């Protein structure tokens, strides 16, 4: 259980900066009032909707870029960990 938490901490140490960098580039500015006569609430709603949509696409692209690199690394770590456990079990019984 403790090793599982350590692996989770390592994985979160990798993904947290990626998400923070992806979210850092997102800036939301108040939209200027247009000539359409829309209310301030409509303008704020559309600005927030577009900001959240941009943020979601940025996070999705960051995760999509990291996953092909992270999965083989995590798999290799699991193979080494399980291989060491099997090796120690075999050598202890011999």
Q: What is the pLDDT along the chain (94 residues), one digit of tens a residue?
A: 566 556 556 656 656 666 555 555 555 555 555 555 568 888 889 999 999 999 999 999 999 999 999 999 999 999 999 999 999 999 987 5
Q: Could you tell me the end-to-end alpha-carbon distance of the chain, in angstroms, rounded to an integer? A: 28
- The set of residues, in sequence order, having a beta carbon less than 8 Å from that of 43 and lying 6+ positions away, is 30, 31, 33, 34
């Amino acid at each position: 259980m403790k090793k599982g938490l350590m692996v989770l901490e390592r994985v979160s140490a990798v993904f947290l900066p990626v998400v923070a960098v992806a979210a850092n580039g997102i800036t939301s500015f108040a939209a200027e009032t247009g000539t359409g006569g829309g209310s301030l609430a409509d303008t704020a709603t559309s600005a927030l909707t577009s900001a959240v949509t941009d943020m979601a696409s940025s996070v999705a692209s960051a995760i999509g870029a990291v996953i092909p690199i992270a999965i083989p690394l995590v798999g290799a770590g699991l193979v080494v960990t399980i291989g060491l456990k099997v090796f120690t079990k075999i050598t202890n019984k011999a």
